Copies of this chain bind each other. A is one copy, B any other.
Amino acid sequence: MLIVQKFGGTSVANLERIRAVGDRVCKSRAEGHQVVVVLSAPAGETDQLLRLASEISAEPDPRECDNLVALGEQKSAALLGLYLKAQNVPCVSLSGWQVPILTDTDHGKARILQIDPERMHRELHSGKIVIVTGFQGVSETGDVTTLGRGGSDTSAVALAAALKADLCEIYTDVDGVYTADPRIVAEPKLLKAISYEEMMELADAGAKVLQTRSVEVAAKHRVPLKVRSSFRSHPGTSVVSENESLEKILVAGVTLNKNESKIAIRRIPSGQGVLAKFFAPLAEAGINVDMIVENLGADGMTDLAFTVAKADLRITMKFAESVAKKLGAGLVEAASDIAKISIVGLGMRTHAGVAYQIFQILADLGITVQMVTTSEIKVSLVVAIGDAEKAVRALHTAFGLEKDA
């Protein structure tokens, strides 16, 4: 098999761990597989480089900043290369530009345009382990780009797609994908398998085990994914197409996100393009809006509420108040003492009563639901932050996600 193995920052945090990664990679090679290893920067290294950048510049230039932060993965890759060579294991470490991984020029959050698999195939063919830096590429103008936080997952999946790999393994510091955060729910279940769609919704809703974009790319190219532990030999969680041997479960997981704030605008006189008027300045400023709820009243006045990252609240309020004033709308209210809970599962598509069950469970606990949005396989809701963990535990139990005794 051709396997892409991706190791995160904690897996390459120091020389001892890099040696452990090397040994694991060698084991796969000894089993007869061709291996491409994708590495993150050593834990803390990227933050340290970003700190340097912000010390020397109040608003770091994106191109120069990419040149700086790309050094972390290059360090991991070279060190693993040195270790493998010292074990007489043929290998070659490649930076994004050497593969090359071609991206657009959107420094700091570039998107991969194309990956040329030729050199990697050639090196694999000559018996080498190929080590590739995650998180980075090179633009058509020959400049170093980075993919943004968590981009190494996306690098790994995109490389697997370009190589037509048989499997892409994401090694991380947890055993796999859980039905809920173990810090909140005492005994969450480790999922053996999950669909791309569920994984995307879970990732988006705050399960930090995989970057959403990487799952999107995996789904698009049908790259078989596996999430497993760097430190233990647990088989992990497979992320696969829906029709592949998935257990029939109603809900795959419950997630909690405390990093968002809610903004609500009351009594907006409705009219053409009201929503666009509110979100245009946010889009322009690159502010991500997560949940959006709107409800037009019979009197022609509409209420709008949405959530943004807590860090974006202040600037978002400024934009929202300015638009509200122009439109003659009512009060603009903001709340940061909220949390978003998401319940994700393929089963929801065919089980109409899931939303009702959720509301009933929360009502029984006396918890007020402040906002609701739904998609085909997800229900997201906003509650007071103080109620959030209790709600997650109750939902987790009610949908039978506790670990089998």
Which residues of A are at the interface with B, using a C-beta cutoff of 8 A?
15, 18-19, 49, 52-53, 55-61, 63-65, 67-68, 71, 74-75, 77-79, 81-83, 85-86, 92-93, 95, 97-98, 119, 142-144
Contact between B75 and A71, CB atoms less than 8 A apart: yes
Do B61 and A82 touch across chains, with their CB atoms under 8 A apart? yes
Chain B nearest CB from A117 CB (Å) reads 15
Q: For the complex of A and B, list the 10 residue pairs with the smallest distance between their C-beta atoms, beginning with the closest.
A: A57-B86, A64-B81, A61-B85, A68-B78, A67-B78, A57-B82, A64-B82, A56-B83, A71-B71, A56-B82
- Apart from A53-B78, A56-B82, A64-B81, what are 14 other A-B pairs with CB-CB below 8 Å? A18-B56, A19-B56, A56-B86, A57-B86, A60-B85, A61-B81, A63-B92, A64-B85, A64-B93, A67-B95, A68-B79, A71-B75, A98-B143, A119-B142
Establish whether residues A74 and B71, one from each chain, have CB atoms under 8 Å apart when the complex forms: yes
Cα–Cα, bound, A313→B61 (Å): 50
B68 x A82 contact (CB < 8 A)? yes
Report B-chain residues with C-beta under 8 Å of the C-beta of A74: 67-68, 71
Q: Which secondary structure characterizes the binding site on chain A? A: helix
- By a CB distance below 8 angstroms, the chain B residues around A95 are 67, 144
Q: Is the beta-carbon distance between B52 and A65 smaller than 8 angstroms?
A: no
Copies of this polypeptide in the complex = 2
Q: Is the CB of B86 within 8 A of A67?
A: no
| Inter-chain contact B93/A67, CB cutoff 8 Å | yes
**B67 to A77, Cβ gap below 8 A?**
yes
Which residues on the B side are within 8 Å of A55 (C-beta)?
A: 15
Name which residue of chain B comes closest to A74, CB basis: B71
Quick one: which of B63, B81, B83, B143 contacts A67, CB cutoff 8 A? B81
Contact A58 B86 (CB under 8 A): yes
Residues of B within 8 A of A92 (CB): 63
Q: Considering the chains assembled together, what is the distance between the CA atoms of A79 and B69 in angstroms?
A: 10
The contact sample of 16 A-B pairs, CB cut-off 8 A, is A15-B52, A15-B56, A53-B78, A59-B86, A60-B82, A60-B86, A61-B82, A61-B85, A61-B86, A63-B92, A65-B82, A67-B81, A68-B74, A68-B78, A68-B79, A98-B143
Give Cα A81–Cα B85 distance, bound, in whole angstroms: 34
CA–CA, A93 and B75, complex, Å? 19
Q: How far is the CB of A352 from chain B (nearest CB, A)?
A: 55
A56 touches B79 (CB 8 A): yes
Interchain CB contact under 8 A, A57 and B83? yes
**Closest CB in chain B relative to A66 CB, distance in Å:** 8
Could you tell me the distance between the alpha carbons of A148 and B29 in the complex, rounded to whole angstroms? Answer: 34
Beta-carbon contact of B65 and A78 below 8 Å? yes
